[in-house]
Amino acid sequence: MTDGPLSDLLVIDLTRALAGPHAAQMLGDMGARVIKVESPTGDDTRGWGPPFIGDEDERESTYFLSTNRNKESLVLDLKDPADQDVLARLVERADVLMENFRVGVLDRLGFPVERLHELNPGLVVLSITGFGHDGPEAKRAGYDQIAQGEGGLMSLTGADQPTKVGVPIADLLAGMNGAFGVLAALHERTTTGRGRVVRTSLLAGMIGVHAFQGTRWTVAGEVPGLAGAHHPAIAPYGLFETGTAPIQIACGSEGLWRALCGALDLDVADPRFATNVLRVEHRDALVALLEAHFATDPAEHWLALLADAGVPSGKVRSLDDVYAWEQTLSQGLLLSVEHATQGVLQLPGSPLRFDDNAFSGGRSTHAAPPTLGQHDDAIRAWLDS
């Protein structure tokens, strides 16, 4: 593993599934050396599918491939004293250790936080749980869909019934929050010389993104309901049917509303729609009015017209369209990596770019997700050197 702003860091990734692996992948994208410690059966997500690629004896889960690039794989049985010793030696050299076991499991394996910091006082430990490390729900297992429901996000998502987000957003946000916390603790370590424990959870990730929906309750005393395809506090701001396909419009200011009226030859003085508050109050009538206009022509006609008028708008792309889109490619958001058994793979890239790199992430080259135990010999030889 080569360059990047975090290339001087060693991360021990004890996590599995998605939240922790995503946090570790974020640091790996920035150049950190990430050693993924897996059980002899491997990360759970190696078996999550379909879809899989490759022959049966070398098959790889596309789920696993999504969240484990820029890592090395080391197989350890953490119930085996010899392998526990290998982990202890890794801890002595590491900057960061990440874990997402249930509360108390790492302690029972012989690696409570006190021992980790005895081995390495500067170690930053990231602990990700489902519902937090303490409190009455601390021992509950953390699964994304459960957290989306328990954390309120599903009560806001959908039109006819509570709906989960189409990606495991609770896991992803927990990983992002965890990576952010790790970097804060590493920065603090430059002053104190000591590491600390960073804790986050899937529940915290859900509540942390309630944004204005949260303050609708905590400040205004309103319980938000299903938002559907339209913004609950701004109009027009949402999804509208046209003669061929739906388009989205975002009129986030009075100036944009007037621009939309000009583009569609609407009466800007209509008293039902004179202010945003009134447009929200009369949203059904506004949607009906706009869709009556849009029904007369195909989506591309309206998108061109709105673009000329300076009204933010867009289509709803399928993923094959997204990854073929010139704008996606121009941002380095599709990476080519050479996999040990599957050849060249195309992977979604990091959302970050730096000024000296045309590709996503902080490094000039990216490594494919590892096969199980791919780096066993090299890592053990390095520890013995």
Q: What is the H or E stretch that residue 25 is in?
A: helix 19-29
Amino acid at 134: D
Q: Locate the domains of the chain by residue range.
A: 10-209+329-384, 247-315
Residue 358: the pLDDT is 66
Any idea which residue has 């989506």 for tokens? 299
Read off the pLDDT of residues 317-359 as tens digits, 9 standing for 90 and up: 999 999 999 999 999 999 999 999 999 999 999 999 888 776 6
pLDDT at residue 364 tops 90: no
SS3 label, residue 16: coil
| Terminal C-alpha separation, the chain | 18
Cα 25–Cα 354–Cα 10 angle in degrees, nearest 5: 35
Would residue 284 show up in a list of annotated catalytic residues for this protein? no
Average pLDDT, the chain: 96
Distances (CA, A) of 262 to 13, 59, 195, 291, 292: 55, 56, 59, 16, 16
Tokens representing residue 194 in the block: 């000591």
Share of the chain above pLDDT 90, in %: 94
Q: What is the pLDDT of residues 58-95, one digit of tens each?
A: 999 999 999 999 999 999 999 999 999 999 999 999 99
pLDDT in the model for residue 69: 97
Cα–Cα dist 104/6, whole Å: 30
Q: Which residue has the higher pLDDT, 357 or 313?
A: 313
169, pLDDT greater than 60: yes
Q: Where are the alpha helices (DSSP H) in 110-201?
A: 113-119, 144-150, 169-192
Mean pLDDT of 34-49: 97
Looking at residue 355, its pLDDT comes to 83
Res 57: pLDDT: 87
Residue corresponding to tokens 């002899």: 40
Largest CA distance in the chain: 78
pLDDT at 1: 44
Task: Select which of 171, 267, 320, 356 is catalytic.
Answer: 171
Span 219-241, pLDDT tens digits: 999 999 999 999 999 999 999 99
Pick the CATH number of 10-209+329-384 from 3.30.56.10, 3.30.428.10, 3.40.50.10540, 3.40.50.620: 3.40.50.10540
Specify the DSSP element, H or E, that contains 277: helix 276-281
Residue 294 confidence (pLDDT) above 50: yes
pLDDT digits (tens, 9 = 90+) for 170-200: 999 999 999 999 999 999 999 999 999 999 9
The pTM of this model reads 0.94
pLDDT score at 3: 86
90-115 confidence digits (pLDDT tens): 999 999 999 999 999 999 999 999 99
